[in-house]
Structures are given as C-alpha cells and as structure tokens.
Structure 1
Amino acid sequence: MSHEQHANPRQNVTFDAPGTETGHAHGYLRTPASGRGPGVVVIQEWWGLTDHVVAVVDRFAAEGFVALAPDLYGGRTTHDSAEAARFLAELPPERAARDLAGAVTYLLDRPETTSAAVGAVGFCMGGAFVLTLAAQQGERVGAAVPWYGVPGPGTDYSGLRAAVLGHYGQEDTSVPLEAVRATAQRIREQAEVEVTMHEYPAPHAFYNDERPSYRRESAELAWERTTTFLRGRLAAASASA
C-alpha cells in the first residue's frame, strides 16, 4: 500500500531515501525555539510513529535539538502487540536502513542543524536500529543512545564511530542484561569506542509514559543522561568539523 493510503497526520516532512520503492520517506520534524541546534534522529518503537514518539521529538526540540523521527511503517500505528509484531516482520531491514540513512542525510543538510554529525536515539526496536545505523553511517553519527533494544549477536560494529550510551531495565524480560553486556563488549572490541550501558530498576519500555511500564524516576534520570551526553558529543563533533 502507498504512503498516501497510510498517511499519518504526524508526518510533516518528506526526505530522500534512495533505493526505496518510492525514493523518499516521511517523518516528523521539530526545530528548537532558537531556530538552530544539533541534529538528532529519533527511531520509533515497534508501535509506529505514535503520539509518544512525537512527544519525544517535541521534548528534544524543547531541549535545543533539531529532531526528526522517520516513519518506518509508512503511516501505520498500532497499540496491539500482535499487529506490531506483524508490522515489524513486514519491515525489510534494508529498507529501514535506507530510510534511516536518508534521515541522517536530511538532518545534516538542513541549515538549522549545527552539528557535523547527528545523534541517534531509539526505543525497543528503534534501540536496536540505533546501533546498526551508527555502524553503517560511521562518522556521520556522533552519539548513539539505544533504549531497551539490541541487535542480533552477530552484528558487525567495526564501522561504528559514535560513543554509545544505553538504557536498559533490570526487570526487562524481553532483553536480558546478559545480551546487553555482551553487545557492549562486542562494540568495544570491534569499534574501540566509549560504551556505557546503564541499568535501571525498571521493566521494558520504562520511558513510555503512555504505558503501564512507565517508571518516572528511571525515565527522568535516563533522559537527563541522554540530553547531557548528546550535547557534549555533538558539540565535540561540531568543534572538530
């Protein structure tokens, strides 16, 4: 089905995504009140480009970032886990990679973006995509922040140049901490970058304030750590450009 048939009212920009069926992708963009700032790609959970993802983009803009959330499902959203699993299964990883690469290029090309590299922040499914995107994009991603998601154990991180700051729940039954720690070690060995994986007394999706899994104290601490990390890393990317 076409993007038009799945039109999501949250979409407000269209950008090039070479290699996709249409050659373009859609997303939700917000710029800060100052008009300029470092660029951040926000990658959705498996529910789609929902009100929660839009709110996260808005929060980044309020913190001074130029933030973009690509719509990886072409307008579809759901609150049903079985349907979300189907949407994810129907999303070819290579198409997601092209959409996300297009989002990086789009942000870096915008005059409002002050950083020479972007930050990548993602949740659940998007958390795993953050690390694969950073590995694919090299110097163009200067900071990677996965929340409760990791790629498969065989992922190649040798191209990754971004420092990594992760957020994971100790009560998360879907993403074992053993997998998180193994991922961190694999990144260190293959990419030799700084990797910090924080663990919180919280379940999966503890930042999503629209769900019962939300844990305010952990969410606020992780958010503060994230914005501080992004400011520092993306400012450094600007200074060294």
Structure 2
Amino acid sequence: MGTVITFGRLDGGDATGYLASTARGDAPGLVVIQEWWGVSEQIKGLCDRFASAGFTALAPDLYGGTVIPYHDAVAAAKEMQNLDFKTTTAQVVGGAVAYLARNGAAVGLTGFCMGGAITIIGAAIIPGLSACVAFYGLPPADVVDAATIAVPLQGHFANRDDWCTPQAVDTFEARLHAAGKPYEFFRYEADHAFANEQRASVHDRAAAELAWTRAVAFLCRHLLPR
C-alpha cells in the first residue's frame, strides 16, 4: 500500500499524489497518470502493482482530490475539459518526474485514457524521461507533433474504441514512422479502458494481462541499468 505525498510543481507550487514504493532503494521511477475519473482506487492499485514489479510509482493528482464515479461520464468530461493539458503536463507531471529522479533514478511515464494522451504530451515536452507507455489515449494533433517525441514510446490500443479510434492510432503511428521515432504499438480486440478491472463492462483480462506484461518488459528494458 502506498501513501499520499506532496511534491513540487516545476512552477514552484505544490501538488499531491499517491506514491507506492518498492523495496529497492535504487529502483527506477514511474509516473502513472490517471484516467478522466481521477486518482481512483484502480489507479492506486496500478501504482501498487508497479511497485511490486520493481518501480517506485507516483500518480500525481490532476484533479486536486476529486474522484468521479464511473457512471458519471458527464462530470468526468467536465473535469478533463477544465485541464490545460500542456501546462498540467509540463508543471505537475514534470514535477512528479523531477521528484522521482532526484536521487539519480531513471524515470518513465505511463497513463490510461486521458492519462495516455498526457503521457504522449510528456514524451514530447518533459526532460529527463527514459521511456513512455500510453494506454488507449492520444492528444489532439494540434497539441503534439509526432516528430517531437523525444523518448522510446510504447502504445496499447483497443480496436473497439470510439474515443481513441483505430483510425487516429493509425494516423499517429504513420507520423511516428515517418519521423523515424522509436516506438512499438499493440492493438487488442477489446474495448476502450480494457485494462480497468473495476469496470466489468469493458475489462478484458486476457488483453489487460498481455498489455501489462509487454509494458513492464518495455519499462525494464529502458529504465533498468545495463
């Protein structure tokens, strides 16, 4: 089980987040970005699981303590729309990366749904990252140019997704390929948010476990010392 901490934003303010630590003192860090529901028990559970896999995991709270019930998509959309994605990524997520990197650890970034989009923005604008893993989320094309992605990127996407659509994924992948960026994308015969085990209507255990295995292997490859 983790704990709630306060850490510094890069603009000098304070932010809070859920921190799950692993037993290793020299463990790599991993910033975990919430879905549009907030830092839910699902996100905290993922941080705990990443800690068990050998990462010190920190989920910055982008909603200031607000957690939206899964049935209230209207409220979740409102909270998400109130975020300035680039500023939040640069200042809050960037601060979380700096917090985990303070003792010289390599740091990665991962996120789900809205957090997947923020992960890709972070891959382009946050210094000090070693790798990023995005789950079924892409930022608008006018927010991030694929050619500006600065670190290895792994993506996990659902073929039955009407938000992060297969067509949008194909377009972004083509731009990454044309720019010669290091990436690997995986697609699953599943619905959006298939990795969220608290949402029985969309959770796909087989796809979620395969994506988890691939993500952990990718992060180990890029974050652990060789």
Of 123, 127, 152 in structure 2, the residue corresponding to residue 134 of structure 1 is: 123
Of 94, 101, 105 in structure 2, the residue corresponding to residue 114 of structure 1 is: 105
Residue pairs, 1:81-230, within 5 angstroms: 81-97=73-89, 98-109=91-102, 111=103, 114-115=105-106, 118-138=107-127, 140-154=128-142, 155-190=144-179, 192-211=180-199, 212-230=201-219
Question: TM-score, structure 1 length as denominator?
Answer: 0.86
* 1:17 is the counterpart of 2:2: no
- 1:74 is matched with 64
Q: Distance in 1 between matches of 2:14 and 2:193?
A: 30
- 1:39 is matched with 29
Misfit runs of 4+, over 4 Å: none
Q: Distance in 2 between matches of 1:37 and 1:106?
A: 13
Q: Distance in 2 between matches of 1:11 and 1:89?
A: 28
Q: CA deviation at 1:234?
A: 1.0
Q: Secondary structure at the match of 1:142?
A: strand
Q: CA deviation at 1:145?
A: 0.6
- 2:44 is matched with 54
**Number of aligned positions between the proteins:** 220
Q: Distance in 2 between matches of 1:143 and 1:73?
A: 25
Would the aligned equivalents of 1:132 and 1:157 in 2 still touch at CA under 8 Å?
Answer: no
Q: Distance in 2 between matches of 1:126 and 1:135?
A: 14
Q: Distance in 2 between matches of 1:15 and 1:230?
A: 23
Deviations 1:88-116 (A, max 9, x none): 1111224412101111111100x3x632x
Question: TM-score, structure 2 length as denominator?
Answer: 0.92
Q: Which amino acid aligns with 2:62?
A: L
Q: CA deviation at 1:48?
A: 0.3
- The alignment yields a C-alpha RMSD, in angstroms, of 1.6
Q: Which amino acid aligns with 1:225?
A: R
Q: Secondary structure at the match of 2:110?
A: strand
Would the aligned equivalents of 2:33 and 2:115 in 1 still touch at CA under 8 Å?
Answer: yes
Structure 2 unaligned runs (5+)? none
Q: Distance in 2 between matches of 1:86 and 1:66?
A: 31
Deviations 1:143-192 (A, max 9, x none): 111100001123224442211110001111221111112112223334x3
Q: Distance in 1 between matches of 2:8 and 2:202?
A: 35
Taking only the aligned residue pairs, the percentage that are identical comes to: 38
Q: CA deviation at 1:11?
A: 6.0
Structure 1 unaligned runs (5+)? 1-9
Q: Distance in 2 between matches of 1:141 and 1:188?
A: 21
Would the aligned equivalents of 1:128 and 1:151 in 2 still touch at CA under 8 Å?
Answer: yes
Q: Secondary structure at the match of 1:170?
A: strand
